Chains A and B, each alone.
Chain A
Amino acid sequence: MHTARRGLSRRDALKLAGAAGLAGIITVYPGRRVFAAADQSLNLAVERTRITIDGETSSAISIGGSIPAPTLRWREGQEVVIYVTNRLDEGTSIHWHGLLLQGVMDGAPGFNGFVPIGPGETYTYRFKLRQAGTYWYHSHSASQEQEGMYGAIVIEPAGRDPVRADRDYVVLLSDHTPEDPENVLRKLKVSEGYYNNNKRTLIDFFRDARRDGLGATINDRLAWGEMRMDATDLADVTGYQFLVNGKGPRDNWTAVFNPGERVRLRIINGSAMSIFDVRIPGLPMTVVSADGQNVVPVKVDEFRFGVGETYDVIVMPTEDKPFTFFAESIDRTGFARATIATREGVEGDIPERRPRAILTMADMAMAPGMDHGSMAGMDHSSMPGMDHSAMQGMNHGNMPGMDHGAMQGMDHSAMQGMDHGNMPGMDQGSMPGMNQGKAGSKDQAVGWGDAGTPPGAKALSYADLKALSKAKDLREPSHEIEVQLTGMMSRYIWTLNGEKFDEGAPIRVAYGDRVRIRFVNTTMMAHPMHLHGMFVEIENGQTDRMPKKHVVLVPPGQVTTVQLTADEPGEWPFHCHLLYHMASGMMTRFIVEPRTASL
């Protein structure tokens, strides 16, 4: 069993599950003892603790005595009972992220009759596992998730797992701040850009003027100034330590393999605020599952990872050498790092850091104040490297006289799904020097979508995700719900359709309805939108095999559409999974009403 101390191989997991009976609960956490409970119940206490990351100690909250919380290994079809005891002096809750269950068991205070678990109280969660895959659990109260209340859930399928693997590891990414999260929110509210240490300066102005010309640089600064927006606004909070399974880059969490083995990494973004670019240099990843749902395997070199999402990947290292699992936050203020090696105590190289992106007007394409009609005759030659990947839904018809010929260095590699048919008069032939690959090593990435992916490397796109099995409900949506992602960055107010949580009317759909949700991101930040209780299917062109997701990362200035079958009655939270966005109001109620009520 010594291999299992670090991570449970699938075979071991099955053996243990067998030993414990089908109802067995197996908890494994790196560095902790593996045990199989003989019954279906589990006790988890929530308590204040201290966490030491790379030698620095700060305040935290743990579930079940560790950060991250113990990995819960269950089996599809089991009924599980979890007794959660609150040892804090404030209310708490645990939300089972991605699990299909009865509303009150979902654990979101103020929804479905769930009330916070008071200090000293024990709440009994009980639900039957109706699915398999990788999920996670976290607090849904105040900012407790930011302080350490998160852990992984691994549910083995009842039948044969289509994904074969010799090793099975949870790779849980998170961000930890030594600051009190309440104070983080206060600073965001009272001082715009408090955490942005990469604002554009006079020095940048002169550098840009030398590179792009003085006129273009002045025009660019005036455009941002007119909108009172900041082109360097990629992440709201900095000062984070980025963790893999609770360990900082120096503590270096390590996954052990034997050359030739198939290693399954269940990668979870349990961050409060951090979107990552994830890669393992020298080791291509085959994505086999997204948000716990199996997909047709797709081989990638890297992926952009929204808060709350999960991807299961298979890697097959054949050499006896250490590989570095590297996850850079998109604002490039730091990285999470782990090592995949044949033994403990070795380190791979830290790869070259990627450039941070500067946002462009394309990232603002859906902003309410942006008048596209006035873009006629706009000189795009002054926008070298302009990223059109985020221009989905932008009405190019309003842009007569747009001179695409001058758009040298334009990056179209990420333009999948963009409908060129809507761009009359656009002469693709006249775009000499258009860069179909990626520009490679640059000192600056241009546009939110530019991860700095080197030429020839493959970055995962939502369009690549194809469900492994055909969808059950192939009805056309009967109606469409538009959800505008809105906000006032300068005041740190985040909203849906311009309204804060419980300010506006909830979204109501009838039980059994097939609906389309159209996310229109009018802000210049990406929002990982999370619906509790049900999966949504991203309309990514895969017709009857659209991937099922519980979090959809909607890039700035973009429109993303999803479909869903409203087959889980209840009153579900529907919110941005960036913690401080949710805390500032970016949430609503998604109510699935029983048929009788609507007739």
Chain B
Amino acid sequence: MTMTTMVPHRAALMAGAILLAISAGSARAAEEQPPEQFHEEPPVVGTLLIDQFEHRWRDGENSINWDAQGWVGGDTNKVWFNAEGSKPVDGEVEEAEFQLLYSRMTSEFWDAQIGIRHDVRPQPQTTYGVIGFQGVAPYFFDVTAQLFVSEDGDFSARLEAEYDLLITQKLILQPAAEVNVSAQRVRELDVGPGVNDVELGLRLRYEVVREFAPYIGVNWERKLGETADIAREHGEDPSDLSLVAGVRFWF
């Protein structure tokens, strides 16, 4: 996996510290019994999912968007990685966010996560501390909730939920929702206090194999409150509807 090359060095340092802490723990456990005595060594596994990699067609400029996540670890402790972003089809990357988290199983369906987020774009680059949880809510909703505190002390939060509705074994409809909230106005990032935006998506994918699924869908984003006003001041439409087509794949 090329994740470390994609993550800025500050994040890499933090990850290193976390890994050290984990390995120190397991080294202590290993001392008690020589490793070859273990009947089964707990498997350390990893995965990388490109959940969205898509072209968005809209009224204005079309864009390429991506959303990925991956992890390496055992049953209880994992190093977790998130990335998302977008760029106009012809143009520079406008948004690029990376997260590196330590993820720990807290119950059968939930992981608590802590780590850092770094936004390479938009400029100026911003680093956040992240605390949150991730898991499966009753009725099979995949939920991620995260609280961010920026290097300038600004608080914000994000809630994401999605659901897989199987039409057939291979044809799957996925509704998804995301809400972003900010505790205060952050001028540089063009956000106001309160609910900043809501995003709703509906994607229909066909799993050629489990690991590879092309999809089509629609995505609707709406900026709200002061954030919407700021967008209007900049001559942008606070509402954004796009048709999407892309691929979902994982390893």
CA distance A164 to B56 in the complex (A): 75
> Quick check: B75 and A115 within 8 Å, CB to CB?
no
Give chain B nearest CB distance to A142 CB in angstroms.
Answer: 8
CA distance A584 to B43 in the complex (A): 8
Which residues of B are interface residues toward A (Cβ below 8 A)?
A: 36-40, 42-43, 45-47, 75, 105, 108-109, 136, 138-140, 165-169, 210, 250
With A190-B47, A191-B210 known as contacts, the answer to whether A587 contacts B139 (CB < 8 A) is no
> Quick check: A110 and B169 within 8 Å, CB to CB?
no
Assess whether A597 is interfacial by the CB under 8 Å rule.
Answer: no
Contact pick for A501, options B36, B39, B109, B250, CB 8 Å = B39
> Quick check: B138 and A200 within 8 Å, CB to CB?
no
Interface residue ranges of A235-267 to B (CB < 8 Å): none
Contact pick for A201, options B37, B42, B169, CB 8 Å = B169
Contacts of B46 in A (CB 8 A): 190
> Quick check: B38 and A491 within 8 Å, CB to CB?
no
CA distance A116 to B168 in the complex (A): 46
Give chain A nearest CB distance to B118 CB in angstroms.
Answer: 25
CA distance A228 to B139 in the complex (A): 6
With A189-B43, A491-B108 known as contacts, the answer to whether A115 contacts B37 (CB < 8 A) is yes
Assess whether A270 is interfacial by the CB under 8 Å rule.
Answer: no
Contacts of B168 in A (CB 8 A): 201-203
Assess whether A186 is interfacial by the CB under 8 Å rule.
Answer: yes
- Closest residue of chain B to A143 (Cβ to Cβ) is B40
Q: A115-B37, A226-B138 are in contact. List 16 more A-B contacts (CB 8 A).
A: A91-B36, A109-B39, A140-B39, A142-B40, A186-B43, A191-B47, A199-B166, A201-B169, A203-B168, A225-B140, A490-B136, A491-B75, A491-B105, A582-B40, A583-B40, A585-B42
> Quick check: B75 and A493 within 8 Å, CB to CB?
yes
- B36, B39, B45 — most chain A CB neighbours (10 Å): B39
Give chain B nearest CB distance to A591 CB in angstroms.
Answer: 15
Contacts of B136 in A (CB 8 A): 228, 490
Which residues of A are interface residues toward B (Cβ below 8 A)?
A: 91, 108-111, 115-116, 140, 142, 182, 185-186, 189-191, 194, 197-203, 222, 225-228, 488, 490-491, 493, 500-502, 573, 582-585, 587
> Quick check: A222 and B109 within 8 Å, CB to CB?
no
CA distance A202 to B167 in the complex (A): 5
- B43, B46, B167, B250 — most chain A CB neighbours (10 Å): B43
CA distance A488 to B105 in the complex (A): 12
With A228-B109, A228-B136, A490-B108 known as contacts, the answer to whether A110 contacts B38 (CB < 8 A) is yes
CA distance A108 to B39 in the complex (A): 8
- A108, A182, A190 — most chain B CB neighbours (10 Å): A190
Contacts of A142 in B (CB 8 A): 40
- Closest residue of chain B to A202 (Cβ to Cβ) is B167
- Closest residue of chain B to A93 (Cβ to Cβ) is B39
Contact pick for B109, options A91, A190, A203, A490, CB 8 Å = A490
Contacts of B45 in A (CB 8 A): 185-186, 189-190
Q: Name 23 A/B residue pairs within 8 A (Cβ), A-sorted.
A: A110-B39, A140-B39, A142-B40, A185-B45, A186-B43, A186-B45, A186-B47, A190-B47, A191-B210, A197-B169, A201-B167, A201-B168, A201-B169, A203-B167, A225-B138, A226-B138, A226-B139, A228-B139, A493-B75, A500-B42, A500-B75, A502-B38, A587-B40
- Closest residue of chain B to A141 (Cβ to Cβ) is B39
CA distance A110 to B39 in the complex (A): 5
With A190-B45, A226-B139, A583-B43 known as contacts, the answer to whether A110 contacts B108 (CB < 8 A) is no
Contacts of B165 in A (CB 8 A): 202
